[in-house]
């Protein structure tokens, strides 16, 4: 599990500026989960071989009565999920009463806290930081988030206690042990039930011994002689009785599982229909580029009318994920659960397929002949060559001229054409355009 850094502080101190600095690398995935998290934003960052997750907590308003509630509602939740807290204050605004109350809250929390004095650009650092010692949080760390000043140095020190990852650990999706399946979805849709089904009853017992509180858990298993690895977020442990507390839904854990799997099986609940949380999670799966299989669960005993309603809703609201296979299952009764495997296999095969430059370039030229890109500044946009730039998700790099001016509609045309001809199913395809002029 990667270290999780929470950014806290009152509004305007520079949290989102720092968040953007930390998550702007090419691989960074910024997930905005308004419906899921009440203003918390999650992103991935990386320093050398140390990936980390950042949570931006929005802001704590200066309202004295409201502050406890605000802390409880957002920041405490984020702090709870975090290993490290960066408490930001504003060198230009100076020390405020709100900073004092936040510091009091942080002091009683046992998480490692760093007092970060932002906006020191153009100021003398020791003078700018001096007054914040009064907060009683120890050493101050001056930075200028908008200039990137001292940011890398700070994160380097903050992450010092955490080990560097090996290349394999950096890229869990390249796991050779088998297809990595992540079963994801909001609470109560039936993830644990499905996971138990997928593994078969025998495996559950084995699993009772394992399980830390927060790590996404990996379970290698075999089906019909083929190896798989299940990346579980649901808490596979069987709930023994009603008094047992259901494992808390952890967004960090869910994001981690999505990032580290090859194929995400996203579980939806036919009884409740689609809700905002479903769409946000799905959006994250898509942004992360993971292959996807959709499983509409609790299909058992549903009236024909309810089934029709769910189908229509999916068609209307999940159009953006229409490349994914859709299954209607009952995890409880095991109905259609086995059908997920061919879809998982196919999505994985598509996500990891390799195509020669020759094939892709021919395909590109055919597509261009069929349908020319438009003229820009009285010159026609030229697309000459295509090669593969990556997999899981597949990345197609297209070289040409004036590709910056390529209209969205034409990009969609290319995506659809490549998808159809290469028979890509169950995974997003990404296009990158490079221009010679
Ligand atoms: P948040 O509300 O805590 O997320 O704060 P923002 O990141 O939105 O920043 C608030 C304002 O402070 C914006 O206008 C930023 O451009 C500015 N700001 C952020 N970091 C710096 C900095 O290092 N130096 C200066 N001078 N301004 C900054
Ligand atoms: P999780 O929180 O996503 O892991 O959901 P659980 O697997 O714990 O399931 C939540 C509830 O839905 C439990 O009461 C399950 O028995 C029930 N459930 C799960 N799958 C099905 C299904 O296919 N049909 C019906 N009718 N109920 C189900």
Tell me, what's the ipTM?
A: 0.76
Q: Which residues line ligand 1 (CB under 6 A)?
A: 9, 11-17, 59, 118-119, 121, 144-147
Report whether residue 187 contacts ligand 2, using a CB cutoff of 6 Å. yes
For 97-116, the pLDDT digits (tens) are 989 988 888 888 778 899 99
Q: What local confidence, expressed as pLDDT, does residue 248 receive?
A: 53
Pocket test for ligand 2, best of 188, 217, 253, 329 (most atoms within 8 A of CB): 188
pLDDT band at 58 (very low <50, low <70, confident <90, very high): low
> Of all atoms in ligand 1, which is nearest to the CA of residue 13?
3
As a CATH number, domain 357-435 is: 3.30.300.20
Are 213 and 233 a contacting pair, CB within 8 Å?
Answer: no
How far is 312 from 178, CA to CA, in rounded Å?
A: 35
Q: Which of 199, 332, 333, 334 to mutate to test the pocket of ligand 2 (most atoms within 8 A of CB)?
A: 332
Distance 331 CA to ligand 2 centre (A): 7
145 alpha carbon, closest ligand: 1
Ligand 1 atom at minimum distance from 10 CA: 3
**Band of residue 314 on the pLDDT scale cut at 50, 70, 90:** very high
Q: Do domains 4-168 and 357-435 have the same CATH topology?
A: no
Question: 4-168 — its CATH code?
Answer: 3.40.50.300
Verdict on whether the full-model pTM lies above 0.80: no
Q: Domain 172-352 has what CATH class?
A: alpha beta
Arithmetic mean of pLDDT, 89-95: 96
- The domains of the chain are located at 4-168, 172-352, 357-435
Do the beta carbons of residue 76 and residue 111 sit within 8 Å? no
Query: Is the model's pLDDT at 379 over the cut of 60?
Result: yes
Residue nearest to atom 25 of ligand 2 (CA): 298
At residue 386, the pLDDT reads: 96
């Amino acid at each position: 599990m990667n270290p999780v850094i929470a950014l806290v502080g009152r509004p305007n101190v520079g949290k989102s500026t720092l968040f953007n600095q930390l998550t702007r690398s090419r691989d960074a995935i910024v997930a905005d989960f308004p419906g899921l998290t009440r203003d918390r934003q999650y992103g991935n960052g990386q320093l050398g071989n140390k990936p980390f997750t950042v949570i931006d907590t929005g802001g704590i308003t200066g309202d004295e009565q409201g502050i406890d509630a605000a802390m409880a509602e957002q920041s405490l939740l984020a702090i709870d999920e975090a290993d490290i807290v960066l408490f930001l204050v504003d060198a230009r605004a100076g020390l405020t009463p709100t900073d004092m109350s936040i510091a009091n809250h942080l002091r009683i929390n046992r998480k490692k806290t760093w007092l970060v004095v932002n906006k020191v650009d153009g100021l003398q650092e020791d003078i700018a930081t001096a007054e914040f010692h009064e907060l009683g949080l120890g050493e101050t760390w001056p930075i200028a988030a908008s200039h990137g000043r001292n940011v890398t140095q700070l994160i380097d020190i903050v992450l010092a206690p955490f080990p560097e990852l090996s290349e394999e650990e950096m890229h869990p999706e390249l796991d050779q042990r088998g297809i990595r399946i992540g079963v994801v979805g909001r609470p109560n849709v039936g993830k644990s039930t499905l996971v138990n089904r997928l593994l078969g009853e025998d495996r559950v017992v084995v699993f009772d011994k394992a399980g830390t509180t927060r790590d996404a858990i990996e379970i290698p298993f075999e089906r019909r002689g083929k190896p798989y690895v299940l990346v579980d977020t649901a808490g596979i442990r069987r709930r023994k009785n009603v008094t047992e507390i259901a494992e808390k839904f952890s967004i960090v854990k869910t994001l981690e599982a999505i990032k580290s799997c090859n194929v995400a099986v996203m579980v939806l609940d036919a009884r409740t229909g689609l809700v905002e949380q479903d769409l946000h999670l799905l959006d994250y799966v898509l942004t992360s580029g993971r292959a996807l299989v959709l499983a509409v669960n609790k299909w058992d005993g549903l009236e024909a009318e309810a089934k029709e309603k769910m189908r229509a809703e999916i068609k209307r609201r999940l159009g953006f994920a229409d490349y994914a296979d859709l299954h209607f299952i009952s995890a409880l009764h095991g109905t259609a659960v086995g059908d997920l495997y061919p879809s998982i296999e196919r999505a994985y095969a598509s996500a990891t397929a390799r195509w020669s430059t020759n094939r892709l370039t021919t395909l590109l030229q055919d597509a261009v002949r069929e349908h020319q890109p438009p003229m820009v500044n009285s010159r026609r946009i030229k697309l000459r060559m295509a090669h593969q730039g990556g997999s899981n998700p597949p990345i197609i790099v297209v070289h040409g001229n004036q590709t910056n001016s390529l209209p969205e509609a034409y990009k969609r045309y290319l995506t659809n054409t490549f998808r159809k001809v290469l028979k890509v199913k169950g995974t997003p395809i990404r296009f990158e355009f490079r221009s010679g002029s």
